[in-house]
Every structure is written in structure tokens, then in C-alpha cells.
Amino acid sequence: MNVLEVDAVTHRYATTRASRPVLDNVSLSLGSKDIVAVVGESGCGKTTLGRLMAGMVPPFEGQVRFEGRDLWSLKGDDLKGYRRAVQVVQQDPYASLNPGLTIEDTLGAPLLHHKIVRRRELKGALMRVLQEVGLDATPAFLMRYPHQLSGGQRQRVAIARSMSLQPRVVVADEATSMLDVSLRVAILDLLLSFRQQRDLAYLFISHDLGLVRYFAQGGRIVVMFYGVIVEEGPCEEVINRPKHPYTFLLLEAIPVPDPDVASQRRTEELERYAEGQVASTGCVFYNRCPFAEDACRKARPPLADVGGGHTAACFFPERVPSLAESIQGAPR
């Protein structure tokens, strides 16, 4: 049984134009110890998907299920159990911690609320938590406030707050994007270390395919464009052999050492954007697709099996070049 799943979810916000939902008929499952990385550009709906799976907002249509039960039907101890089992590590460590609480209060309140430790055992438990995330396990550190910590330290505190509850699922929403490049791999390795130690699943949200490839080794990648899942499959399969044009273009955005290839890519990208952002009928990617034909304008392609547990919403997946061809600047 899947730990967490969304089934045919469509979601709109009050300020969103009625013609386009933020999420459009999205289905996704997360099993024990799975890593599912959701990738796409800003505004594609990936953070909204994470918020729905974390129970922060109810879906407009469809269901979010925890251990097979509708999340929004849970009550009492069942709901409290879900709140402990599904934790979030948010993007901004400067905003995710209460500036008026010490680190002791920030980390201690969830442990006491869920009755994981008794008050007399709290200090010892907090020292262990700090040690697990590589922070200074001292009473002096517990008395600090968030503004007295660096960005990396704050994010480790945020991770400690989530991991102290021994969750089954962690939604990591752009968890390293606010950090210096030198700190990103250390934070990713810290998150992965918890997966090795526990039966822990991740929904890893990012716009950076390089980070996704590092974090989601052995897991799955879900590619989203404008509220729609356009491709899904094993990490290395999606990276090396993309079957949707949007995934191919995301891979093309990876920097290359050849300035002539980079210049050619920038010119072609500007031409694609000049043609229009999102198609109003048919395939959502029609107006920006380098392989589009008239059939793509008339009907939306379904998310279909292209082999090896790999699916893509494209009528012509065989036309999409591989990663090796993309790096070489293969002509289209």
C-alpha cells in the first residue's frame, strides 16, 4: 500500500483564472522509502502539489489519501498521526522558523505535543537531535534565536524539527535553493542519510535537474508543466532518455562549455517564447514545442507508457533526443 497519494487532483486558487487550474487532474503515489522528485519551472504547480500532500490545503477536486484513507476524512488521533507522519522542510530557512522562539522552544514543542518524550527527558532528546543534523549539541546553542544562526544552521534546525518526529514522509520544497552552492550538497547528503537510517520517503521539489539527479538516484522523476504531469519515470531513464520535449528543453538548459552551442540554444529559446507561453487547446506545451504538429494543437496527449516504467504525455516521444545528443548540441 502507498503511504501517500493524490488521485485525479485538480486545484484552483481564488485568484486563479477559471480557465486554467493550478493542478489539472494530477495523480501521484509515494511508497515507503520512495524518492519522488517533482521538477519544473516556477508556476508549474509543484509547490501546490507538495502543499496538498502535506495537508496544508484541501484539493478543489480529487482525493489525497494517507495509507488508503481520504486525508480530509481523518479526525482525532488519526489526524494527529498523519500530522506527525508527514513533515515539511520548506524553501526559506529565514521564514520557516519563528524569530521569537529559541531553538529549544522550536524543537521541543513538537516533541511534547506528540508525547514523544516527557518534559524531564526533553533536554537530552534535543541534544541527540542537534547531533544528528550536525549542529552544536550544547545548552548554549539551544538558547539561541534564529537571527543568531547562519542560513545553513537554520535549515539544519528546520530539518531537525521535522526529523525529530520520526516521520514516514518528508516533503522537501526547494530545500536548498536559499543556501550557498557550497552548502547544498551537504544538506542533500544529510537528508539522504536519514533515509538510510529510517523507512523514510521523500517528495523532493526542485527546478534544478542537477540537484534532482543527485538526490533522486534510484528514485523517480515527475516533470510538470503548467499544472500537468508531462513525464514520469526512473531517475536515470528520464535524465538520459527523455520522452517529452519539455524535459528535453530542461536538460538543454544545463550549462555547456561550448559558447557557440550555448548561443544557439539562447536564440532558439527566445524564438520559442516569442511564439506564446501556453497553448489554450490540445497539448499544453504545443506553443513552445520544437516537434509539434497539427495533431498536438487539436488534442491533449495522454500520459502513456513508453517502456521501462517510463510514461510521457506526447504524441511523438520517439522524436525527443537523448541527453547525449542534447549535450552535443544536436540539431533539431
Long-range contacts of 319-327 (CB under 8 A, 24+ apart): 319/291, 320/242, 320/243, 320/244, 320/245, 320/247, 320/248, 320/291, 321/242, 321/248, 322/240, 322/241, 322/242, 323/239, 323/240, 323/241, 323/242, 323/251, 324/240, 326/248, 326/251, 326/252, 327/254, 327/256
pLDDT band with cut points at 50, 70 and 90 for residue 16: low
Distance in angstroms (rounded) separating the CA atoms of residues 297 and 124: 62
Residue (of 96, 100, 204, 192) closest to 151 by Cα position: 96
Full-model pTM: 0.89
Which amino acid type is present at position 214?
A: Y
pLDDT band with cut points at 50, 70 and 90 for residue 332: very low
4-225 in CATH: which number?
Answer: 3.40.50.300
Average pLDDT over residues 284-292: 88
pLDDT at 183: 86
Report percent pLDDT > 70 for the chain.
88
For 72-92, write each residue's pLDDT tens digit.
999 999 999 999 999 999 888
Q: Residue 69: CA atoms inside 13 Å, Cβ hemisphere, count? A: 10
For 115-167, write each residue's pLDDT tens digit.
999 999 999 999 999 999 999 999 999 999 999 999 899 999 999 999 999 99
pLDDT band with cut points at 50, 70 and 90 for residue 17: low
pLDDT at 330: 46
pLDDT at 20: 75
What are the structural domain ranges in the chain? 4-225, 241-327
